[in-house]
Chains A and B, each alone.
Chain A
Amino acid sequence: MDFGEYELSAEIYDEMFLSDGSVRKHCRLLKKILDELPGSEMRAIQEQVSRSFKDGGIVFTVYGKKEAQERIIPVDCIPRLLAAAEWQAISAGLEQRIRAINLFLDDIYNEGRILADGVVPPEIIHDCPQFRPNLRGFRPRRGVWVAVCGTDLIRTNDGFVVLEDNLRVPSGVSYMVANRAATKSNFRRLYRDCKVREVETYGQILLQTLSELAPENAMDPEIVVMTPGVFNSAFYEHMYLAREMGASLVEGRDLVVRNDHVYMRNVAGLKRVDVIYRRIDDDFLDPDAFRRDSLLGVPGIVDAAKKGNVSLVNAPGTGVADDKSVYSFIPDVIRYYLSEEPLIAGVQTWCCRRPEDLEYTLDNLADLVVKRVGGSGGYGMLIGPASTPGEREEYAREIRKDPADFISQPTLEFSRAPCLIDETPEPRHVDLRPFVLTGMETRIVPGAFCRVALERGNLVVNSSQGGGGKDLWVLSD
């Protein structure tokens, strides 16, 4: 495969090449193999990788017509490599971050010291729709509010940066494992020679984590995965995780609460449930506690959790800590609880609820990325440099209507990695979402769901916006 036309830029970090065109040390083996493979063979590998997703039914499901439309996420077959030292630094930073976030959540739902000390303005917390006042006084098992976290990281020329924490129901881990299975079988020798660390143990580690969070009196805990149902786009992942753990895959209608305990409807009658790994948003979890019109939830389940009879993982109410307004305070949160400097930086963020930040945002719309505080999936955001004056004007009107609903950030030129585009390698922007599991201790599987903006120049990697994925190899040494 010919890298002759591969575009490099001093402003944009390339995952394989230094800006002078030489190959990064940990990527030399991969580059050598890619050089030897003709474009047509790479295309065959690419097709094989995509086919393995289709045959395996590893799909997003889009419903609407009589039958589900199943779409596979586009996968690029060229792996992205991370050197051992890079991963070590990421792991340490993520572990630090989740430790602080769990302390933060425990504090704001209980003593509220950080608010009283003025480190985080109370109104930011109390105005956040993800803050659940009815959870005040709640303490989940072992103080672990967030047992499963998917943190989105990007890399700039200055190093890794946290783009956002996904603390509610982070998804993508099944793609991490599926990408691995598909990619390694097509680069067998390279995989062995690179000494790649394995990600296939994720299910076992999740099971161990969930077991550690079971209520104190549950000796052999019954663990279930709770899905909103087959209509959910991440249903494949829910099924995958249930299978990996040997757990039942339940929906709300399969569960009942009796005397503040949760039971599932088995063929032989009701069976008590100890841990619910719920992949359903707070809003829909319990119509008695949150949205009354939820048909997906289980009445009384939150009360059962508050009484310590069942563990909900992640705990309800965690969304307040991944709110985009709160995000900008996480470095202060780390300093406050851990007396440490953040090991991974965040992106500078202007909260439009503050008049001076609003003014700055409106004055610099053309250079900024502006997001709705409660938005996700890449929807409803403005990428200043890619927008038209008309779009900016319209967006400015929206911001002025409700400034507290917006934040802005600088447009970051985050890193690119080679992707196979029509038999030729071309650079595309990539991020990574490692998964951090916390039970009695924090464990991070050495890998990540690596997302790719497959369109040339595009900065949006979300799969809902046409983004794809690729395998990420963490090397042993």
Chain B
Amino acid sequence: MLARSAQGLYWMGRYLERAAHICRLLQMQVPALIDRPLEEIHAGWNLIYNSLKCLPPGGILNSPGEDFTLADAFTLAGDLTFEESNPNSIRSCLGDGRENARQMRHCITDVMWLNLNHEFLDFKSTDMTQVWRSAPEEFYVRTEQHLNEVFSLADMSMYRDAAWHFIQLGRSIECVQSGTALLAGTVATSRQVPDSVNRQIRIALRVFKASESYNRIHGHVINDSIALDMLVADRLLPGSLANHSAAVEDHILGIGPGHSEQCELVRRSAERLKEHIIPGWQKTPAKDRILAEIELESRMLNDRINLCHFSYDAD
């Protein structure tokens, strides 16, 4: 498969997954505006911006205050939803994912393209005022569902060759990175504001789509440590870091050997990523340190995939 096409598909997977992740974050944050204390709302925005590694408009978040926290929410949600100058808005990620799909349209299936293009055109024709008018969280649920449909259509309609594996690899690495960043933010916040830890874990469970599984397996009382273990290391939970890192390894195997000696480094890096999670997570008491290592390894893996498959030296 052409290296540039593979790169386009890989980034298509990453951008669309990132858009879906931001949808999930806003699905949690927006309903909080109805009934949560201002401090909690403030902490929520902080967590979102920190985990996305970007700054809110204006550079800093105002301290919680009755006058502006709720009013700011419109601006902040708008920034994360429609702002084209913010590379971490849903609009930017959806646009970039769709642009990659457009350029690599000959490598994906018609149904995928039509669905994605339709979603993009619909999204583009909407604005924040329309979203805010009633039940804005439903807008984010719907958008995430449409993005998931594109991925389902890929599963349903694409041949399991390198093209499919590169899309899935991009998704899986994005899931590891965004999930790790969210959990690192959760751990950090819980250290700064110990009272908020349970609330933060609940949010993480919901972003990982793990609340129902947790309740079924462990009951309705959220134990912070058990919940974190589940989100990181439980292979039976589809959204866990363990599951995504295993998928990373599977897709690297599916793609097959690359061009240079980087190929071996990719394989080893994927292996290390998995080991950081199982058994690394359980063995390491300093959870923030192990999360930082997972994040670093996933970034190195991304760079090595690039050098191995996309931008290698032809000489």
Q: Is A177 part of the contact surface with B, judged by Cβ < 8 Å?
A: no
Q: Does chain B have a CB within 8 A of A250?
A: yes
In the complex, chain A residues whose CB is within 8 Å of the CB of B259: 267-269
Cβ–Cβ contact B3 & A254, under 8 A:
yes
Task: Give A59's nearest chain B residue, CB to CB.
Answer: B102
Nearest to B162 among chain A residues (CB) is A267
Smallest distance from the beta carbon of A53 to chain B beta carbons, Å?
11
Interface residues of B in 254-271 (CB under 8 A from A): 255-259
Mask of B109-125 contacts with A, CB within 8 angstroms, 1/0: 00001100110010000
Give residues of chain B (146-166) contacting chain A, Cβ–Cβ below 8 Å. 162, 166
Q: Which of B1-30 contact A (CB under 8 A)?
A: 1-6
Count B-side interface residues using an 8 Å CB cutoff: 29
Question: Which residues in window 286-315 of B have CB below 8 A to A?
Answer: 309-310, 312, 314
Contact A267 B258 (CB under 8 A): yes
**Pairwise interchain contact B257-A268, C-beta atoms closer than 8 A:** yes
B95 in the interface (beta carbon within 8 A): yes
Q: Per a CB cutoff under 8 Å, which of B4, B84, B102 touches A265?
A: B4
Q: Is the CB of B113 within 8 A of A57?
A: yes
Known: A267-B162, A267-B255. A254 touches B2 (CB 8 A): yes
The CA of A235 and the CA of B258, in the complex, are separated in Å by: 29
- Contact residue among B106, B121, B256 (Cβ-Cβ distance under 8 Å from A54): B121
Q: List, in ascending order, chain A residues with CB within 8 A of B6's CB.
A: 267
B165: nearest chain-A partner, CB-CB: A267
Residues B60-104 near A (CB distance < 8 A): 84, 95, 99, 102-103
CA distance A68 to B100 in the complex (A): 12
> CB < 8 Å: which of B99, B162, B314 contacts A256?
B314
- A67 x B5 contact (CB < 8 A): no
Partner-A contacts on B (CB < 8 A): 1-6, 84, 95, 99, 102-103, 105-106, 113-114, 117-118, 121, 162, 166, 255-259, 309-310, 312, 314
CA gap between A251 and B6 in the complex, in Å:
14
Give min CB distance, A273 to chain B, whole Å. 10
Give the complex CA separation of A256 and B258 in angstroms.
Answer: 18
Select which of A57, A67, A256, A269 is within 8 A of B105 by beta carbon.
Answer: A57
Tell me if B84 and A250 are in contact (CB < 8 A): no
* Minimum Cβ distance to chain B for residue A47 (Å): 15
Q: Which of B255, B257, B314 has the most CB of A within 10 A?
A: B314
- What separation, in Å, do the CA atoms of A67 and B98 have in the docked complex? 12
Q: B106 and A267: CB pair below 8 A? A: no
8 Å CB contact of A55 from B2, B99, B118, B162? B118
Interface residues of A in 52-68 (CB under 8 A from B): 54-57, 66-68
**Chain A, range 83-128, C-beta contacts under 8 Å to B:** none
Residues of A within 8 A of B105 (CB): 57, 239, 243
- Looking at the assembled complex, report how far the CB atom of A401 sits from the nearest CB atom of chain B, in whole angstroms: 43
Interface string of A10-37 (1 = CB under 8 A from B): 0000000000000000000000000000
Whether A458 sits at the interface, judged by CB under 8 Å, is: no
Q: Range of interface residues on chain A? A: 20 to 34
Give A residues with C-beta under 8 Å from B.
54-57, 66-68, 230, 235, 239-240, 242-243, 248-251, 253-254, 256, 263-270
Given A249-B106, A250-B2, output 10 extra A-B contacts at Cβ < 8 Å.
Answer: A57-B113, A66-B84, A235-B103, A239-B105, A240-B106, A242-B106, A251-B4, A267-B258, A267-B310, A268-B256
**Contact call A239/B106, Cβ cutoff below 8 A:** yes
Q: List, in ascending order, chain B residues with CB within 8 A of A66's CB.
A: 84
Nearest Cβ in chain B — how far from A289, in angstroms?
21
Point out the residues of chain A lying under 8 angstroms from B310, CB to CB. Answer: 267
Of all chain A residues, the one with the shortest Cβ separation from B314 is A256
A67 vs B259: C-alpha distance when bound (angstroms) = 33
Q: CB < 8 Å: which of B1, B84, B113 contacts A267?
A: B1
Whether A55 lies near B309 (C-beta < 8 A) is no
A57-B117 in contact (CB<8A): yes
A242 proximity list for chain B (CB < 8 A): 106
Question: How many angstroms between the C-alpha atoms of A265 and B1 in the bound complex?
Answer: 8
Give the distance in Å from the alpha carbon of A264 to the alpha carbon of B314 in the complex: 10
Docked-complex contact B95 and A249, CB < 8 angstroms: no
Query: B186 → chain A, closest Cβ, in Å?
Result: 34
Bound together, the chains give a CA A263 to CA B312 distance in angstroms of 14
Evaluate contact between A265 and B2: CB separation under 8 angstroms: yes
- Complex Cα distance, B275 from A422, in Å, reads 67
CA A248 to CA B103, docked complex, whole Å:
12
Name which residue of chain B comes closest to A235, CB basis.
Answer: B103
A249 touches B5 (CB 8 A): yes
Q: Which residues of B contact A268 (CB under 8 A)?
A: 256-259, 309
Can you show 14 pairs from A to B with CB atoms below 8 A apart?
A55-B118, A55-B121, A57-B113, A67-B99, A230-B102, A239-B102, A239-B103, A249-B2, A250-B4, A256-B314, A265-B314, A266-B3, A268-B259, A268-B309
Chain B residues whose C-beta falls within 8 Å of the C-beta of A243 in the assembled complex:
105-106
Q: Say how far B49's CB is from chain A's closest CB, in angstroms.
A: 23
Distance A207 CA – B114 CA, assembled complex (angstroms)? 25
List chain A residues, Cβ under 8 A from B312: 265, 269
How many whole Å from A379's CB to the nearest CB in chain B? 27
Q: Nearest Cβ in chain B — how far from A227, in angstroms? A: 10
- In the bound assembly, the distance between CA atoms of A254 and B3 in angstroms comes to 8
The 9 A-B pairs with the shortest beta carbon distances in the complex, nearest first, are A243-B106, A267-B309, A269-B259, A242-B106, A248-B2, A265-B3, A267-B6, A239-B106, A267-B1
CA gap between A54 and B118 in the complex, in Å: 9
Using Cβ atoms and an 8 Å threshold, which residues of chain B touch A57? 102, 105, 113, 117
Provide the residues of chain A in CB contact with B99, threshold 8 Å: 67-68
What B residues does A239 contact at CB under 8 A?
102-103, 105-106
Q: Once the chains bind, are B103 and A230 in contact (CB under 8 Å)?
A: yes
Q: How far apart are B159's CB and chain A's nearest CB, in angstroms? A: 11
Measured CB to CB, the closest approach of chain B to A20, in angstroms, equals: 47
